[in-house]
Amino acid sequence: MPTVVDQILQHVFDSCRDNTSGAVADYIPELAAVTPDGFGIALATSDGYVYEVGDTSVPFTIQSISKPFTYGLALADRGEAAVAAKIDIEPSGEPFNEISLDPITERPRNPMINAGAITSASLIAGRSGEERFERIRSAYSRYAGRRLSFNPDVYSSEARTGNRNRAIGYMLRSFDIITGDPDDAVDLYFRQCSIDVTATDLAMMAATMANNGLNPRTHERALAPALVERVLSVMTTCGMYDGAGDWVARVGMPAKSGVGGGILAVLPGQMGIAVYSPRLDQHGNSVRGVDACRELSKKLELHFLHVTRAARSAIRGRYTIAETPSRRRRSEIEQAAIAEFGHRARIYELHGDLLFSGAETAVREIGNLDEDLDALVIDVRGVDEVSDIARAMFDSLRTQLADRGCRASLVDPRAVMGKTASSVNPKGADGRVFGDLGSAMQWAEEILLDRYCVGPRQPEVILPQDHPVLSGLDPQRYAQVAEVLSMRSYARGDVIVRTGDPAAGLFLILAGQVSSTFTAPGGSRHRISTLSPGMSFGEMPLLAKTHFILDFRADTPLSVAVIEVADFDALTADAPEVKLDLLTNLATGAYMQMNTAIKSLGQFDPER
């Protein structure tokens, strides 16, 4: 099923495809013969996943896109100081093939123009031209994650017609920028430009740069992180030649173009983008490539001045309901159903700034889960900033999950995803919005229990005589207890007892829900458990003659039957057999509640 990223790539592809302005490079005969309207877009994430549309597997020669990679190899071979003594890093403002040096330093202005690129090639270590070329090709292959091939026809064509580059080579030799044979340096440059790549290759090469020089698929180191930083810095200001200023303002990513029709762009820490389309503008950049990158940057909010504060996964935690059930106390039958089918409900906890890269990683992982899901909880309490594209991606994910029969909800008390509890259809694709994780987990459990629990469920309302604490009493003994039961009702939000209150009796829940909570020294309140009909509270202060250590608050309208302290104590003398029955039932219930509480600690979250 296409993801929102696939849909955006397709939209950008369709919107740029009809632009047939520009022309192929005609000064190299082999390039003049290519099909002018080939077009492909590839996007590779920093963990190696590739989205693509169009002619992404069509080979073409890398041409000037080779320049940053050879520059990086030269830095690795010679060191930054030695390379800086030969090549400046300032924008030129001139065409890429200008025969000139900086008038003050008498060096090529940067390694992205031909003069600087030929100099970079001359600095590659090796005992022969063939060895230096193989080192270059091997370096490019490490970035791409596969062995790249050499195109002898394009090389021969460039060698026959490359007199301007030879003139640049001899100029460099006359200023001692190149100290060896300039023809060797120029020939090596022709060879590196004649390596075949595809748009998919270039996207992976860019993703390797985005991943600090480590190929995200092969995990092979292509370049040291410090050198990647220098290469990307130069690409930012010089990679698009005399169109670099407009590129930085409108696209905002380090990039490099080539007259073979390719463009490569890098968003550090997040992704690489590559476009193939041979028609070039007056700067020597792919017309469709520039348009496509502008559209992608705009739609995906990729400008490098608006990125996440940390290049890390947005997913902080992931677990199933089976691994970590909610703190709502359940019957044995319900607990068994949750244990068996709890893998069909998952919780994802997200954090940090949720922009395109983090959202893409999370949406891809969730959308590609192998097992069928009935319920999904996405917890965004730890998320700070959310981009429009991230919201759109999660909206699309929730719709796709709904189509597969999976209901998704958000834990989003600050509405960072743009939805509140009142703005969604609880039964629709939008799912539900909760203010706390515990409520969302209970919601997911209820979905599973509605579908898979076989046998009696925890009742919504019970009569006093059916409460487990009073179960098993014969009519006479129950009548003795009934004489001391008092019925009480509470509204939602009412505090029944507070921390520090003395024992207030034994509370038997007949209808509604009540939560026990702990208030931390800083004032934050943490849910400990949720109790429902058939459960009780107050027994520990009652039996131990101590104070409450938790608050108990009604989550819903609540009905309880209460045995007050004096009445419970009086049973010792008036009806000791009845009291023994009550204590036995309380001990059994306490054991089961403790078992549930221990299970819920698998992924402890104090804000549940």
Q: Supply the residues annotated as catalytic.
A: 64, 67, 189, 241, 259
- Say how far apart CA 214 and CA 142 lie, in whole Å: 9
Q: Yes or no: say if 374 and 406 are a contact pair by the CB < 8 Å rule.
A: yes
Spatial neighbors of 246 by CB under 8 A, at least 6 apart, are: 240
Spatial neighbors of 430 by CB under 8 A, at least 6 apart, are: 395, 398, 419, 423, 424
3-class secondary structure per residue, 169-232: HHHHHHCCCCCCCHHHHHHHHHHHHCEEECHHHHHHHHHHHHCCCECCCCCCECCCHHHHHHHH
Whose structure tokens read 């003795």? 480
Both tokens of 329, joined, read 């106390």
Which residue in 489, 502, 493, 589 sits closest to 542, CA to CA?
502
Both tokens of 39, joined, read 């077009």
Residue count (the chain) = 608
- The secondary structure of 467-514 as a DSSP string is STTTTT--HHHHHHHHTTEEEEEE-TT-EEE-TTPBP--EEEEEES-E
Which residue in 279, 275, 282, 347 sits closest to 315, CA to CA?
347
- The secondary structure of 2-17 as a DSSP string is --HHHHHHHHHHHHHH
Number of other residues whose CB lies within 10 A of the CB of residue 253: 28
- The secondary structure of 584-599 as a DSSP string is HHHHHHHHHHHHHHHH
Adjacency order of strands within the sheet including 345-354: 315-320, 345-354, 375-386, 407-411, 432-434
Determine the residue type at 187: D
Q: Yes or no: say if 309 and 352 are a contact pair by the CB < 8 Å rule.
A: yes
3-class secondary structure per residue, 71-127: HHHHHHHHCHHHHHCCCCCCCCCCCCCCCCCCCCCCCCCCCCCHHHHHHHHHCCCCC
By the 10 Å C-beta count (0-12 exposed, 13-18 middle, 19+ buried), 269 is classed as middle
Q: Yes or no: say if 261 and 289 are a contact pair by the CB < 8 Å rule.
A: yes
Whose structure tokens read 């022309």? 23
Both tokens of 336, joined, read 């068994």
- Say how far apart CA 481 and CA 465 lie, in whole Å: 10
272 bridge partner residues = 44, 266
Which residue in 527, 508, 509, 507 sits closest to 517, CA to CA?
527
